[in-house]
A and B are shown apart, each in its own frame.
Chain A
Amino acid sequence: MTTDEQLIVAFQRGDREAFTELFERYRQPVYAFFRRRLSHPARAEELTQECFVALIENAKRYEPRASFRSYLYGIAMKLVLAERRKAGREVAENEKLDSRSNPVGADPSPESGIWVRDALAKLDDSAREVLMLREYEQLSYLEIGTLMQMPVNTVRSRLFRARTALKEQLKSVKV
């Protein structure tokens, strides 16, 4: 199987099929990245488009020494931060993963995502972001550290703190 890094290098050389393959691989993960961080599905869709368009435009800047995933999610993270600044007052709502809408429905049972989302919303910003990047985007500690510009040990300690806090919160939920 061709790796992501090989595909992006091929795209740099003009292979459009390589990009199509990358798009197929990452369209859902990138959409999920935005969707979990923004309350409006339409905006998540728009930012996903923007993310891939930015990837197309800036593909030549990619250097193979970095992992493609950290590169891609780096673009996505910048877009989210820009969106939060742009949204002004809506920032707070988005950062707290607005509890008014459920991404997968309105199931209020403890097993549903609502409990997780509410628990995540109670974490501090940095710890929550590290945890989400690890659990949902499956980034390594090194990739998270590169993306968030912090040492690996800091990533690990924050991740541990976030998981501990989340476990404490979920423990109170009777499953």
Chain B
Amino acid sequence: MSHSLQHAFEAEEVMAYLDGALEAERAAALAAHLDGCGECQALAKSFRQLTDRMMSFEVEPAPNSMNDAVLAALEKPAATAPTSAKPAIWMRFDIRNWPLVQRVPRNWATIGGLALAALIASMIVVPRLHRRAMDVESVPHYLPPSSQFAAAQQDEVKPEAPPPAPQRLPSDITRGYQEALQRKEEAALTENLERSNVDKYVATVSESSDDQSGESTLAAPDVKGPMIEQNVSLHIVPSNYDDASAAIEKMAAAHGGYVGNLTASAQTGSARDISVELRIPAKQADAFIADVRKLGKVVDESRAAEEVTAEYVDLQARLRASKAAEQRLVELLGNRTGKLSDVLEVERELARVRSEIESMQGQSNLMLHEVNYATVKVELSEEYHETLRSDSIPAKIRNAFVGGVKNLEDGIVGAIIFVLKDGLSLAFWAAVILAIALLVRKRIRSRRAASAVAGATK
């Protein structure tokens, strides 16, 4: 294919001449040159042969089947034009018109649609059923007494009758006042339900103290002796850590107490320990502590007693005064007629006094609980012995292997649990996101193609 460097015409010019793409003057000169130049003739011949060879790349006749479609488009151009015929807006929301869906075979689409509907329905229904089941089991057996009392109180509150209302206020004012008072009391009951477990427990201990009539029926009306809050702390190294840690809760239950907090730690290469905060009836506290001491060696013990008699008596005095004030206000509302503003003023004062009463009753009951139940903190520490085993190389290898198998087992179980628990929903959302992404990509590409065609026609 080489062409002489000194030649008058470039090979490219010969090619352009054969293609009819050379300027007229240059073409005339080249035509004259060709007659006497064997090299250029050979070059021209090679180009012609190449064209002949390329023509062997033939194509079968165009199928006639496309004629109808094109001629139909000629009749109804707007209906068949891919670039300008845009579907109606409502059709875009019809999932059957989505390209992604149209690509899927019809029966697959039906099955997929049903499966999707079932999945969505199950996602709505199952959590509700689960929540209902949780509600039924919402008072577990292991709840501490405070929670149990709270649950009991919730049951008791419901049937409680509305509080007695003043009866002798005239006509409309009386009725309006009664309604307002009832609403207030209902709101107070609702608020009461939302308090912490301790508050609920305290309210339950007082039992009849919720009596809205104002009668004082507090659980411990008379103080016959000193009221003492006991706090005991014991640090024990048990002879058998496992037995001791298992026994501590049983011992508390046997003495009528319960476990408040429990913290355990068991780090590899160090001693285990467990810290338990227990609430034991005050009368049983000494017996319980004596039993606990038997668990092992007591390395530390402290005991604190705080007398709260004076505070309690003072609190009770203020409570009685407030209840008396409340009683007077109720009588005032019941016996006098007056302006609406006066009635409302008395009503506000009554509400304030009742709020104080409730607060003091709560404090009083909490104090009683602190007195009646001693707080015993027991810390059990395992006596740690450095093991010679850990220095042994075969033991280390064995432990490493066992640890590896355990990790593998945990990993597999964890993966299975993860798949069973979250896999379905993850797969669902992944499918949704993938479908949206494919749809968006499809639409972008189709728009690009449409704009490309439109650009070509400009």
Contact = CB atoms under 8 A, between A and B. Distances in A.
9 contacts: A30-B62, A36-B57, A56-B73, A62-B457, A78-B456, A103-B60, A136-B57, A166-B54, A170-B50
Interface in B18-46: 19-21, 46
A61 to B, nearest CB: 5
Contacts of B50: 163, 166-167, 170
B15 A160 contact: yes
Most buried by B among A58, A71, A103: A58
Interface of B: 1, 11-12, 15-16, 19-21, 46-47, 50-51, 53-63, 65-67, 69-71, 73-74, 77, 80-84, 445-446, 448-449, 452-458
A52 B82 CA distance: 11
A28 interface: yes
A30 B453 CA distance: 15
Given A160-B11, A164-B1, A49 B69 contact: yes
B407 to A, nearest CB: 41
A54 B81 contact: yes
Contacts of A56: 70, 73-74, 77, 81
Contact of B62 (A27, A79, A164): A27
Most buried by B among A49, A61, A85: A49
Contact of B59 (A19, A32, A58, A75): A32
Given A49-B66, A81-B452, A140-B21, A54 B82 contact: yes
Contact of B445 (A86, A111, A163): A86
Given A23-B70, A56-B74, A56-B81, A112 B56 contact: yes
Contacts of A46: 66
Contacts of A10: none
Contacts of A6: none
A22 to B, nearest CB: 11
A157 interface: yes
B80 A53 contact: yes
Interface residues of A, number: 62
A134 B171 CA distance: 107
A70 to B, nearest CB: 10
A45 to B, nearest CB: 5
A53 B73 contact: yes
Most buried by A among B19, B20, B65, B453: B453
B445 A85 contact: yes
A12 B53 CA distance: 39
A109 to B, nearest CB: 9
B54 A53 contact: no
A116 B53 contact: yes
Contacts of B12: 156-157, 160
A46 to B, nearest CB: 8
A111 B56 contact: yes
A19 B74 contact: yes
A28 B66 CA distance: 11
A140 B454 CA distance: 23
A35 B60 contact: yes
A120 interface: yes
Contacts of A53: 69-70, 73, 77, 80-82
A41 B61 CA distance: 11
Interface string A51-75: 0111111100110000000010011
A54 B16 contact: no
Interface string A20-34: 100100011011100
A163 B67 CA distance: 35
Interface string A86-123: 10000000000000000110000001110111001000
Contact of A45 (B62, B81, B449): B62
Contacts of B448: 82, 85
A7 interface: no
Given A160-B11, A160-B12, A49 B457 contact: no
A85 B449 contact: yes
A168 interface: yes
A117 B55 CA distance: 11
A16 interface: yes
Nearest to B450: A82
Given A78-B453, A79-B453, A141-B21, A167 B1 contact: yes
B15 A159 contact: yes
Closest 10 CB pairs of A and B: A58-B457, A82-B449, A31-B62, A113-B57, A57-B81, A78-B456, A32-B59, A116-B57, A78-B452, A160-B12
B3 to A, nearest CB: 10
Contacts of B16: 141, 156
B56 A116 contact: yes
A86 B458 CA distance: 22
Most buried by A among B12, B57, B62: B57
A50 interface: yes
B449 A156 contact: no
A49 B66 CA distance: 6
Nearest to B457: A58
A20 B449 CA distance: 26
A171 to B, nearest CB: 8
B59 A104 contact: yes
A56 B83 CA distance: 11
Nearest to A173: B53
A134 B46 CA distance: 16
A167 to B, nearest CB: 5
A39 interface: no
B74 A75 contact: no
B102 to A, nearest CB: 15
A112 B1 CA distance: 23
Contact of A61 (B70, B452, B458): B458
Contacts of B81: 53-54, 56-57
